[in-house]
Structures are given as C-alpha cells and as structure tokens.
Amino acid sequence: MVILKTAREIAAMRQAGRISAGALREAGKAVEPGVSTLEIDTIIRSYIEKQGAVPSFLGYGGFPASACISVNNVVIHGIPSAKEILKEGDIVSIDVGAYFGGYHGDNACTFPCGDISPEARNLLDTTREALYQGIQQAVAGNRLGDIGSTVQRYVEARSYSVVRDFVGHGVGAKLHEDPRVPNYGTPGRGVRLLPGMTIAIEPMVTQGTHKVRILPDKWTTVTADGKLAAHFEHTVAVTSSGPLILTLPD
C-alpha cells in the first residue's frame, strides 16, 4: 500500500534527508587511495550519530554496517571491510540512509578514487544524469513507467544497461515502502504518481550485461560479467508543484 505523506511529514523527511546527504558528502571526501571501506563506514556512522540520528542500514535485515560501499564491479550492498583498500582508478558507490524524527532519508553516489579512466568517468556521468532525468518525471499525474522508461532510454542510448533485479522503492517511516520504482518500463504504465508520494529513485547502471549475481555473503551483488557498475540515488517527494529532492545537504 502506498502511503501518502502530509506536508508536515515531508518536512520531517527533509530533516532525515539532510542528515543522510551530509553523511554521503563526508563519505565522498574520504574516498582516496589507501583508505579502507571500513574507515569510510566509520566516518558515516559517526556523522549520522552526531546529528542525533541512527544509520538506517545498520542491522537492517542483518546488514553488519552503517553504509553499503561497493567498489568497481560491485553494484550494491558491498560490506565495508578493513581489508578492502581503495586504489587509484577505483569507482566507489556509497549508499547511505539516516533515520531521524521517525523517518528515513536514503541516497547514494558513486565517487571516483583519484584519477579514473575516461570509460569509468562516462559511466558515472551517465548514471548521475539518468537519475536526474528520472526525477524530472516524478510529477503528479505521471506513472511509475514514465520514470523507469526515461531512465532506461537515457542509459541504453549510451550503450549501457540498467539492472533489473533491484529497483527503487517508497521511503518513509520504513526504509522500504511501496511502491517498487524500476529503472525500466513503459511510458504511461504503472502506479499513478500522486502528491505526497515519497520515493527513492536509484539507477544502477552497468557497462555490460544487466545481469547480476549475489556472492555467498548473501549481500554483495556484482555484475555477472565483471564489468563496472555505478549507482546514484535521491529520495524524492511528489508535490503539486513538481518533484522535491529530500536528500540534499544544507
């Protein structure tokens, strides 16, 4: 069931979104060669807790860390580790959520580690722009298929693929709510967007096949062909005056 939020609830979600966005910003500053993914996770947890919030992902479904940190061919749900040391040329997807005032904010970004290849840079640029193309479709009266098809067309026109096995979702008092928000679809199809809907739009884009596989840890999800992947995400409110991004830092 899709839960519509009041203006007051959306304002509360904006507070959670600011914290989540601030944590993501601080994480991005820490992405450098020689840094472990666990060090970055520690920075994220410290930032969120200093704001009086709780990391949304910590313990969620048994997840052992405060953020998902996914390097190179890891699409999503990478588990931070002291043994995983970033190196020059890596791309690092960081997915962060913060729970504050009864609501969650959820956002993600893929950061370059030092100098990256032109091919990797183009993947990041394409995925980021696909997110904003999708957000532009998050207007009252449109349907979820308008978001997904817009993301899919933009990505595939540039010879990349969108992951099908994982999608965006509603966000609110729960980290994952209805509806599912695919990054593919047919214009004019799916759930109609109404003012008060709050959704996470999150393109996951790969250089090769859209197929993925989950490693034995039951979390880490990698591209089936070993090629690079990128991930960008914002929590967005559908309002009568257009889409409102809730996960922006101060």
State the total domains in the chain.
1
Residue with tokens 């969108």: 162
Tokens of 198: 């709050």
First CA to last CA distance, the chain: 32
Note the pTM of the prediction, 2 decimals. Answer: 0.97
Query: How far is it, in rounded angstroms, from Cα 23 to Cα 203?
Result: 20
Q: Which domain holds residue 49?
A: 7-245
Q: Is 2 part of any domain?
A: no
Task: Say which CATH number the domain at 232 has.
Answer: 3.90.230.10
Strand (E) or helix (H) holding 230:
strand 229-231
pLDDT score of 72: 99
Query: How far is it, in rounded angstroms, from Cα 148 to Cα 101?
Result: 30
pLDDT score of 250: 84
Indicate the burial class of 243 (C-beta count within 10 angstroms; 0-12, 13-18, 19 or more): buried
Q: Are 76 and 97 a contacting pair, CB within 8 Å?
A: no
Per the omega criterion (within 30 degrees of 0), is the bond before 118 cis? no
Q: Is 81 part of any domain?
A: yes
Residue with tokens 């739009």: 201
Q: Is 213 part of any domain?
A: yes
| Backbone angle region of 188, left / alpha / beta, with phi > 0 → left and psi within -120 to 50 → alpha | left
Q: Is 250 part of any domain?
A: no
Residue with tokens 């203006």: 7
Q: Is 14 part of any domain?
A: yes
Query: How far is it, in rounded angstroms, from Cα 76 to Cα 47?
Result: 22
Q: Is 1 part of any domain?
A: no
Q: Which letter, b or e, does each residue of 196-221 get, where b requires 16 or more Cβ atoms within 10 Å of its Cβ?
A: bbbbbbbbbbbbbebebeeeeeebbb
Select from 101, 69, 71, 102 the least CA-distant residue to 89. Answer: 71
**Cβ neighbours of residue 233 closer than 8 Å, sequence gap 6 or more:** 95, 106, 107, 108, 109, 131, 168, 200, 201, 202, 203, 247
Tell me the mean pLDDT per 10 residues along the chain, length 250: 97 98 98 98 98 98 98 98 98 98 98 98 98 98 98 98 98 98 98 98 98 98 98 98 96
Q: Is 144 part of any domain?
A: yes
